[in-house]
Structure 1
Amino acid sequence: MNINTAKRWFNWHKWTSLICTVFLLLLCITGLPLIFHHEIEDIFSEVSMEDHHVNQKLSQDTLLKIAELSSPGRQVRFAFWDQEEHPDQVLFDLAEDPLAPFEESKYVLLHEYTGSVLGEPKNEGFMYWMYRLHTDVFLGIGGKLFMGLMGILFLISIISGIVLYGPIMRKYEFGMVRKHRAKRLKWLDTHNLLGIVTMTWLLVVGFTGVINTLSDVIVVLWQQGQLAEMTADYKDLPKVESTYASIDLAVQTAEEKLPEMETLLIAFPGTAFSSNHHYAVFMKGRSELTSRLLMPVLIDAATGEFTDARKMPWFVTALFISQPLHFGDYGGLPLKIIWTILDIASIIILITGVYLWYLRRKATLQFKSKTTTIHEKQAIE
């Protein structure tokens, strides 16, 4: 690599890193508790657990009525199940309008055997703040896209750092830290070593983070593409206004069509994830990997009959895989601990990078000051 090429790569590395550093520090710091969000939520959860002595679950239609009676003026628009983390429970999302933002939702968690209210989770508290700061800094889709731009700059800084590291380390042993040399060299070696060791993880987390910031865009593309195709025959029909078909029937029909999968979520008619005529029953696989991949089954909300089911497009699948991978949510506690160590290493890399820039800038200013003084003396003489 000639000196001009090296200088060009160095400038790319320096400026992309400096521009995104503050935001990356925010992401790394807020990301630490989010790695353990399940464990933290369980500790501080106000959900009451109860023993039941009933041998049969209540019908989902009965639970739906209980949820709606608990919040007059609102209607259920989503129902969630998570048998691994929260067995025998169903979470209902209620809102005054099916298309209202999620910030206006009220959540009711019911016991499937007794119908008792176990809790009413709210969009507030420490984990909610950490999540919003991490994803969109409370600026909605604009904040997400801005964080995505910072993620792209971060990826450029990593790639340029890798390009620079190769020629530099040809002269030295891998992992060298010059502890007995100048302070700046010691910090530079530490910065380079941590950067190259965590390189793969940084690329994975940075890339999946960028994909996650595009979640709203990806959902819109799916709505305008696949979902529109699946509901094309219903496009010009009037909205279903009468009583909807049983959601027990909708779930049963979906599970009969896809017996190798289980129900995760029902989107009710009129929401952004269904149509005015359908329940969208989202099914998930039963293995660790396929449990992250969803498949929508559309059920006619008037008759309870099957309409269509399709695998999600590749870009939606990429989003589903990226979300848990970004937080180390695939391999249980051991992987989360590894993610935490690497996250802390990233914070050190960012801080040492800024410190190195400060030392270099300080040295440059001092050199310019001395040069100016010498020139002034020479002019006087």
Structure 2
Amino acid sequence: MSSLSKSLRRWGFVHKWSSLICTVFMLMLCVTGLPLIFHHEIDHLLHDEVQVAPVEKGTPFAPLDAVVAAALAHEPGHVPHYLIWDFDEPQNMLVSIGKTMDDNPASLRLARVDAYRAAYLETPDISGRFTNIMLRLHTDMFGGLPGKLFLGLMGFLFCVAIISGIVVYAPSMRKLSFGAYRRERPRVVRWLDLHNLTGILLMVWMLVVGFTGVINTWADLVIKVWQFNELSVIIAPYKDRPLPAQPTSIDAALRVAHEAAPDMRPGFIAFPGSAFSSRAHYLIFMRGNTPLTSRLGRPVLIDATTGAFAGSPEPPWYVKTLLISQPLHFGDYGGLPLRIIWAILDIITIVVLITGLYLWLRRRSPAASAARASAAVPS
């Protein structure tokens, strides 16, 4: 046996077992990821929302302090963790609230407030929503960090399967015209051609989505490393300070953040004591102004007691990689047309996975084995 044949057998072994281990989980991720591409549209269709009365063009936004106060007035006994701008619906402000600042982030609720009138709208229970169930299955299978890391491993094996599949099938594809589909051959050969063709056509996209998915499963760890390294240097002098009894105005803090990053806009504000900030600071995450750069940006730390600028560290490369990977994974940086393309490619990926599973299930059939043996010979 030649060294090339031995090498191809080894790559074939890698492709077979990496594919077998991850295929069922990747099918689950593709199926659950499909509705998540259109989660806004699905939520609007399935769930009634409190309608917001339109405002005249040029109406100024309400003070942020009033927005937060409106949310807390309807949710007594709660404290704010985050104030979030809804870029899909600018008239909405979202206030993430919990009973204490030590609450598990997964248990926080989102209060929706009219951004122009500072009028409370609703705090919907999303735990039983179809899109939320799909999101939990897609991100961690309801398993928290261990579930995320497990799915990250499956995503890594998926990338290995794609790369090894290219290596294994490249020699046989040299004997066939690109895109060949031998409809006169046995079914197993036709499925093999379909598997190879769809896999080759989508290999770059599948690698991008697979790799960015792996990165997203590391999000919790990436943020912790960032906080422990870069942010800890800034907040070290404040580590023993208690939560401020009367924090400074949110609007005043935002004005200071705009002075530090004048060409950027706020994405969210983390309150003192929340998972993204220290016990002494507001962390205001400022973003770019284009669909892609809106996912990037930098944090601005504001002393929550004095309202003074405390620092604005440039996010390290691994945080930027995480921030870029999120819109690339879901295709939500180019509007509805790009999301439709992402959905079509997701469906084709499901075809790749199903045909690969079918080929493996047929592997012990004598007829299928004979057909596969001749599959590399063009008719």
Query: Fold match, TM over 0.5?
Result: yes
1:347-358 equivalence runs, <5 A:
347-358=350-361
For 1:22, which of 11, 21, 24 is the aligned residue? 24
Could you tell me which runs of 5 or more consecutive residues in structure 2 were left unpaired when the two chains were aligned. Answer: 371-379
Contact residue 296 and residue 309 of structure 1 kept, 8 A: yes
For residue 39 of structure 1, what is the aligned residue in structure 2? 41
For residue 254 of structure 1, what is the aligned residue in structure 2? 257
Name the SS of the counterpart of 2:363 in structure 1.
Answer: helix
For 1:293, which of 277, 280, 296 is the aligned residue? 296
1:284 aligns with 2:274: no
Q: Distance in 2 between matches of 1:58 and 1:337?
A: 35
Q: 1:3 to 1:364 in 2, by over 3 A?
A: farther
Displacement of 1:365 after TM fit? 11
For residue 222 of structure 1, what is the aligned residue in structure 2? 226
1:159-174 equivalence runs, <5 A:
159-174=163-178
Name the SS of the counterpart of 2:68 in structure 1.
Answer: helix
1:94 aligns with 2:101: no
Q: 1:365 to 1:40 in 2, by over 3 A?
A: closer
* Paired AA for residue 188 in structure 1: L
Describe the superposition over 1:307-339 as per-residue Cα deviations: whole angstroms up to 9, x where unpaired. 101221111111111111111112222211221
Q: Distance in 2 between matches of 1:21 and 1:61?
A: 49
Q: Distance in 1 between matches of 2:179 and 2:125?
A: 48
Contact residue 362 and residue 368 of structure 2 kept, 8 A: no
Contact residue 90 and residue 110 of structure 1 kept, 8 A: yes
Contact residue 81 and residue 270 of structure 2 kept, 8 A: yes
Q: Distance in 2 between matches of 1:201 and 1:58?
A: 42
For residue 363 of structure 2, what is the aligned residue in structure 1? 360
1:187 aligns with 2:194: no
Name the SS of the counterpart of 1:243 in structure 2.
Answer: coil
Could you tell me which runs of 5 or more consecutive residues in structure 1 were left unpaired when the two chains were aligned. Answer: 368-381
Describe the superposition over 1:348-379 as per-residue Cα deviations: whole angstroms up to 9, x where unpaired. 11111111111112339999xxxxxxxxxxxx
Q: Distance in 1 between matches of 2:230 and 2:165?
A: 40
For residue 3 of structure 1, what is the aligned residue in structure 2? 5
* Paired AA for residue 235 in structure 2: T
* Paired AA for residue 330 in structure 2: F
Displacement of 1:114 after TM fit? 2.1
1:234 aligns with 2:242: no
For residue 217 of structure 2, what is the aligned residue in structure 1? 213
Q: Distance in 2 between matches of 1:69 and 1:324?
A: 34
Describe the superposition over 1:273-308 as per-residue Cα deviations: whole angstroms up to 9, x where unpaired. 111111111111111221011311000011111110
1:156 aligns with 2:160: yes
Q: Distance in 1 between matches of 2:236 and 2:312?
A: 14
Describe the superposition over 1:227-248 as per-residue Cα deviations: whole angstroms up to 9, x where unpaired. 1012122234x21442111111
Displacement of 1:58 after TM fit? 2.9
TM-score by length of 1: 0.91
* Paired AA for residue 53 in structure 2: E
Displacement of 1:223 after TM fit? 1.2
For residue 303 of structure 1, what is the aligned residue in structure 2? 306
* Paired AA for residue 11 in structure 2: W
Name the SS of the counterpart of 1:350 in structure 2.
Answer: helix
Q: Distance in 1 between matches of 2:198 and 2:244?
A: 60
Displacement of 1:258 after TM fit? 0.9
Name the SS of the counterpart of 1:303 in structure 2.
Answer: coil
For 1:67, which of 71, 78, 81 is the aligned residue? 71
TM-score by length of 2: 0.92
Contact residue 80 and residue 90 of structure 1 kept, 8 A: yes
Q: Distance in 1 between matches of 2:4 and 2:109?
A: 61
For residue 332 of structure 2, what is the aligned residue in structure 1? 329
Contact residue 208 and residue 325 of structure 1 kept, 8 A: yes
Q: Percent identity of the aligned residues?
A: 48
For residue 342 of structure 2, what is the aligned residue in structure 1? 339
Name the SS of the counterpart of 1:58 in structure 2.
Answer: coil
Q: 1:8 to 1:253 in 2, by over 3 A?
A: same
Q: Distance in 2 between matches of 1:177 and 1:56?
A: 60
Displacement of 1:42 after TM fit? 3.4
Displacement of 1:78 after TM fit? 0.8
Cα root mean square deviation, aligned:
1.9
Describe the superposition over 1:108-136 as per-residue Cα deviations: whole angstroms up to 9, x where unpaired. 11112322222213332000001111110
Q: Which structure has the larger Rg?
A: 1
Q: Distance in 1 between matches of 2:296 and 2:165?
A: 34
